[in-house]
Structure 1
Amino acid sequence: MIYPIVVYGDPVLKRMADEIDRESTDVKKLTADMFETMYQAGGIGLAAPQIGMSIRMFVVDGSPLNDEEEDMSDFKKVFINPEIVEEKGEPWKFEEGCLSIPGIREEVSRPPKLIINYLDENWVEHEEEFDGMKARIIQHEYDHIEGILFTDYLTPFKKRLLKGKLQNISKGKCDADYKIKIPGKR
C-alpha cells in the first residue's frame, strides 16, 4: 500500500514518536508499505511520521546513491525503536532534502559517524556503527522520529528566506510527483 507523504506544517512531523510494541503493529506489513511508498516517491529514507504514524520506525535504502566513493548497495534497512548511542567526528555539511518538504534543499552539518541500537523487522536487536552518507541518512530519518526537520538546523536568516515556500508547502502549493497529505485536510 502506498501512503500519501505528510508535508511540512502537519503536527505529526514535530511530535516525538512513540515506541512500537510488538503486539500493536504488524511491522512486516508496515515495512513493505513504507518501502513501497518511499520508492514511489523517489526517496532514500522514510520515517513513520512522514506517513502520519507517530511511531519510532524508519526505513532506508541508499542504493540509488551507490558510487565510487561509498558502497551503498547493501544499505537497505529497517530501524524499529532506534536509539543513537553516540555521534562522533567533526561535523560536515551536505545538502539535504526531504519528501515532507518538496522542492527545498539546504546544507546541514552532521557528525560523520554514529553508533545506533535498533530492532529490525524480525525484532532482532542490533548495535551498529555507520559513517559517511549512511550515517547522514540515518541521522535525517532519526530526526523525524524525534520531531525534528532538517529546516530546524537552518540559521534564522535562512528560515526567514524560506518562510513563504514553507507556508506554500503546508497549503499544498508545491511540486511533488507523489501523493501528499496536506495539513488539516483529509
Structure 2
Amino acid sequence: MNLSILAYGNHILKQKCSKIKENTSEIQKLITDMWDTMENANGCGLASPQIGKPLQLFVADSQIIYKNLDTEDQILYFGKDDKGIKETFINAKIIDRSEETWDDYEGCLSIPGLSQKIKRPWAITIEYLDHNFTKHTKMFTGLTARIVQHEYDHTLGILYTDHLKPLTKKMMESRLKKIINGNVAVGYPMKFL
C-alpha cells in the first residue's frame, strides 16, 4: 500500500524512535508498505517516522542508483565490490564511523525539491536486524553508507537540515516554510501541517 509521507515540520520527524520488540504480521505489512511508498516516490530510502510510525525501522536501496550510473561514477560513488544494497534495517545501531569523510548532495522525501551538501563518513559499520529479524553486522561505504546514515538519522529524530551550518539553513527558511504550509508540488502523497 502506498502511504502518505510526512512533510518537514511534523513533530514525529523530530522524535527518537522506539525499538521493535518482535516480528509480527503488522511489522511485515509495514515493511512492505514502506517499500511500496518509497518506490512510488522514486526514493532510495525511507524511514518509518516519515510515514508517521516512530519506530527504529528503515529501508534503503542503493542498487537502483548504482545501476543508473556509468562505470566511472560507479567507481567514484561506491566502494570496491559494492554494487549497492536493497535492505531493511530494524533496530539499527551504527557502531563505527570512518575518519575519512566526503561531501555530497542529499535530499529527502519529507523535504521535496531541496537538497544540500552534507559531510558524512565514507564508511560505517552498523548492527541491525533484517526483515526476517536475522542479526547482521556490516560495513558499508560510499553512497550506500550515505543513504544508510541518512535513514538511520531519521530514527534518531535528525533530518539532514540539522547537519547544515546556521547560515545555510537560514537561507533555506522561506522554502522550508512553503513545504510546511503545503505550497510545493510533489508526485507522491504527502501529509502537511
Indicate the residue corresponding to 2:36 in structure 1: 36
SS at match of 1:65: helix
The letter of the residue matching 1:83 is K
Q: Quick check: 1:5–1:51 contact (8 Å CA) kept in 2?
A: yes
Q: TM-score when scaled to structure 1?
A: 0.94
* Ranges in structure 2 where 5+ consecutive residues have no aligned partner: none
Indicate the residue corresponding to 2:153 in structure 1: 143
Q: Quick check: 1:63–1:72 contact (8 Å CA) kept in 2?
A: no
Deviation for aligned residue 1:64: 2.1
SS at match of 1:97: strand
Structure 1 segments (4+ residues) deviating >2 Å:
23-27, 70-74
Q: TM-score when scaled to structure 2?
A: 0.91
When you count helix as a share of all residues, which structure comes out higher? Answer: 2
Please list, as runs of the form range in 1=range in 2, the aligned pairs for 1:55-94 lying within 5 A after superposition.
55-66=55-66, 67=69, 68=71, 69=74, 70=78, 73-94=83-104
Deviation for aligned residue 1:32: 0.9
Alpha-carbon distance change, 153 to 25 in structure 1, aligned in 2, over 3 angstroms? farther
The letter of the residue matching 1:151 is T
Check if 1:160 corresponds to 2:170: yes
1:129 corresponds to which of 139, 152, 161:
139
What is the root-mean-square deviation in Å for CA atoms of aligned residues?
1.4
Deviation for aligned residue 1:63: 2.0
Deviations 1:14-40 (A, max 9, x none): 010111110666222111110000000
Indicate the residue corresponding to 1:8 in structure 2: 8
2:130 corresponds to which of 96, 106, 120:
120
* Ranges in structure 1 where 5+ consecutive residues have no aligned partner: none
Work out the number of aligned pairs and report it: 183
Give distance in 1, aligned partners of 2:25 and 2:153.
21
Alpha-carbon distance change, 29 to 172 in structure 1, aligned in 2, over 3 angstroms? same
